[in-house]
C-alpha cells in the first residue's frame, strides 16, 4: 500500500529511532511539526473575478537554526505533502550540516493557468499572510516546484516593503541583481552530479558513457541533463509533465534546450521516440534520476526498475515499499535528502553572502558546494558501513542524530 509522503517520513524516523536505540523522549519530538499554518489567498483574476486559493507554511523545527525551505505552487499541494517536505528539509539541512531547521510552503494552484500579473498578486498575498512568521532569523523561503527566481523577487519585495527596509536575506534563490547567489539556479543539479561522482566510486561504474534516464525536466532535471552530459554520460531518455522522449544514441541537451524554448516541452524532439513517464522509470539504463514529484517509484514498478544507480533529484520519489524492493535487489540509491541537498546548500551560501553584503565568484560557490557535498556523502557512507545499512537509512541516522543532539543540548523551554 502506498502511504502518504508524511507517513514515509515517519517510517524512517521509527527505523532510525530503533537503529540508534533512542527512547520515546527523543523520538517523540521528531514526529510532529513545530508549527503549521493554513491561509486563504483571495486574488483578483484578470477578468475581475475573485478566486480564493489555499496556502500552507509548515515549520518543522528550528532546533539547529532558522527554518528553511522552498515554496511549491502545484495543484496537488496538501498539508500532508507540505508537512513531509518540511520534515525532509529539516533532516536534509542536518545531513549537509548547515545551520537551519526545516520548513516548506505551498499553494494549491496550477501556475501555468495564471497570467504573470495573477501570479504576482498570488505571491504577494500569500507572503502577506505568512509575513509574521518569516524573516532571515526565523524562516527563509526559496524556490521549489512551480516557483522560480522571479517569484522569489516578489517575495523579497513584499517583505521589504512591509518592513520598511530592504531585507535580501529573507529569501534565497533570488535573481543575482537582488542579492541572489551565483550558481544557485543549477545548484541542486550540480550537487546531484557531485554525489553521483562520489557514488560511482562505490559500485565501480564510470560516468563516461553511462546511460542516464531523467524523469522531470524542470530546474533539477534540465540542469542535471546538461551537467551529466558534460561529464561524459549519455542521456538516453528525459520527460516532463506532457510525456517523454527516448534515444538510445543519446540526446543533446543543448538542442533539447532550444526545442523546449520554442515548444514548451521536451515532447516532439526530432529524432527521438516517444516514451511515457512510467516507462522511462523502467528503462534499461545505468543511472536513473527521478527529478519530478513524490511517489514515482512504488511497489508497482520497483521490481521492474533496471537502473544500477538511482540519484533522487526529487524529494520523496521512492515509497518505503519500493525502497525495500530496490534495497533487496541491490540497487544503489543516493537518497533525496543527500542527493538534492545542493540547492539548500547554495541557499545557505546566499543567506551568508546577503548577511555579509559581500558576494562570491561562481567558482568559489562551486568549490564550496563540492566540498560540502563530498563531506556529506562521506559522512553518510561512514554511517552506512558502521551500522551495515543502506544509504537512505544512514542519511536519516546522520541527520536525525544531529537534530536530536542539538535538541538535547538546548533542553526544554518552560
Query: Interface with ligand GLU includes 223 (CB under 6 A)?
Result: no
> Is 158:41 a contact under the CB 8 Å cutoff?
no
Which of 81, 144 has the CB closer to ligand GLU?
A: 144
Query: Interface with ligand GLU includes 195 (CB under 6 A)?
Result: no
Query: Interface with ligand GLU includes 216 (CB under 6 A)?
Result: no
Q: How far is the CB of 65 from ligand GLU (least distance, A)?
A: 12
Q: How far is the CB of 82 from ligand GLU (least distance, A)?
A: 12
- Cβ count near 230 (within 10 Å): 11
Q: How far is the CB of 132 from ligand GLU (least distance, A)?
A: 20
220: Cα separation from own chain's centroid: 8
For the record, the C-alpha cell of 247 comes out as 534515444
Give catalytic status of residue 361 as yes or no: no
> Is 380:394 a contact under the CB 8 Å cutoff?
yes
Query: Interface with ligand GLU includes 182 (CB under 6 A)?
Result: no
Distance between CA atoms of residues 308 and 287, nearest Å: 6
Among residue numbers 324 through 353, which ones bind ligand GLU (CB under 6 A)?
340, 343-344, 347
Which of 70, 335 has the CB closer to ligand GLU?
A: 70
97: Cα separation from own chain's centroid: 16
Query: Interface with ligand GLU includes 70 (CB under 6 A)?
Result: yes
Distance between CA atoms of residues 10 and 87, nearest Å: 9
**φ and ψ of 246, to 5 deg:** -140, 130
Query: Which of 68, 83, 92, 104 is an active site residue?
Result: 104
Query: Interface with ligand GLU includes 142 (CB under 6 A)?
Result: yes
Query: Interface with ligand GLU includes 170 (CB under 6 A)?
Result: no
Q: How far is the CB of 123 from ligand GLU (least distance, A)?
A: 16
Angle at 223 between CA 221 and CA 224, to 5 degrees: 60
Distance between CA atoms of residues 82 and 86, nearest Å: 6
Q: Which stretch binds ligand GLU (CB under 6 A): 65-73, 245-253, 284-292, 353-361?
A: 65-73
> Is 63:103 a contact under the CB 8 Å cutoff?
no
Which residues have a catalytic role annotated? 104
Interaction site with ligand GLU (CB under 6 A): 68-70, 142, 144, 172, 315, 340, 343-344, 347
Amino acid at each position: 500500500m502506498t502511504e502518504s509522503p508524511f507517513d514515509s517520513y515517519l517510517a524512517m524516523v521509527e527505523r532510525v529511532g530503533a537503529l540508534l536505540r533512542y527512547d520515546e523522549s527523543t523520538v517523540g519530538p521528531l514526529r510532529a511539526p513545530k508549527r503549521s499554518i493554513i491561509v486563504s489567498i483571495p486574488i483578483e483574476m484578470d477578468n475581475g473575478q475573485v478566486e480564493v486559493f489555499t496556502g500552507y507554511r509548515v515549520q518543522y523545527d528550528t532546533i539547529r537554526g532558522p527554518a528553511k525551505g522552498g515554496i511549491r505552487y502545484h495543484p496537488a499541494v496538501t498539508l500532508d505533502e507540505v508537512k513531509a517536505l518540511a520534515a525532509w528539509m529539516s533532516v536534509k539541512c542536518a545531513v549537509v550540516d548547515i545551520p537551519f531547521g526545516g520548513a516548506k510552503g505551498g499553494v494549491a494552484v496550477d501556475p501555468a493557468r495564471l497570467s504573470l500579473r495573477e501570479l504576482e498578486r498570488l505571491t504577494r498575498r500569500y507572503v502577506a499572510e505568512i509575513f509574521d512568521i518569516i524573516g532571515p532569523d526565523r524562516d527563509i523561503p526559496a524556490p521549489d516546484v512551480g516557483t522560480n527566481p522571479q517569484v522569489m523577487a516578489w517575495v523579497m519585495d513584499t517583505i521589504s516593503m512591509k518592513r520598511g527596509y530592504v531585507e535580501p536575506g529573507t529569501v534565497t534563490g533570488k535573481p543575482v541583481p537582488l542579492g541572489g547567489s551565483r550558481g544557485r539556479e543549477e545548484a541542486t543539479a550540480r550537487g546531484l552530479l557531485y554525489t553521483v561522482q562520489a557514488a560511482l566510486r562505490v559500485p565501480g561504474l564510470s560516468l563516461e558513457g553511462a546511460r542516464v534516464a531523467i524523469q522531470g525536466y524542470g530546474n533539477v532535471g534540465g540542469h542535471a541533463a546538461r551537467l551529466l552530459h558534460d561529464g561524459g554520460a549519455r542521456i538516453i531518455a528525459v520527460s516532463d509533465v506532457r510525456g517523454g522522449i527516448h534515444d538510445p544514441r543519446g540526446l543533446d541537451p543543448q538542442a533539447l534546450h532550444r526545442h523546449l524554448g520554442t515548444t514548451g516541452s521536451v515532447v516532439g524532439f526530432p529524432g527521438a521516440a516517444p516514451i511515457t513517464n512510467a516507462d522511462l522509470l523502467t528503462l534499461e539504463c545505468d543511472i536513473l534520476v527521478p527529478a519530478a514529484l513524490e511517489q514515482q517509484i512504488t511497489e508497482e514498478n520497483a521490481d521492474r526498475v533496471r537502473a544500477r544507480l538511482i540519484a533522487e533529484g526529487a524529494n520523496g520519489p521512492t515509497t518505503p515499499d519500493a525502497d525495500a524492493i530496490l534495497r533487496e535487489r541491490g540497487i544503489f540509491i543516493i537518497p533525496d535528502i543527500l542527493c538534492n541537498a545542493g540547492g539548500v546548500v547554495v541557499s545557505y551560501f546566499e543567506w551568508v553572502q546577503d548577511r555579509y553584503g559581500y558576494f562570491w565568484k561562481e567558482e568559489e560557490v562551486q568549490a564550496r558546494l563540492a566540498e560540502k557535498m563530498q563531506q556529506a556523502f562521506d559522512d553518510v557512507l561512514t554511517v552506512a558501513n558502521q551500522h551495515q545499512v543502506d544509504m537512505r537509512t544512514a542519511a536519516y541516522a546522520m541527520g536525525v542524530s544531529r537534530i536530536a543532539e542539538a535538541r538535547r543540548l538546548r533542553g526544554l523551554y518552560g
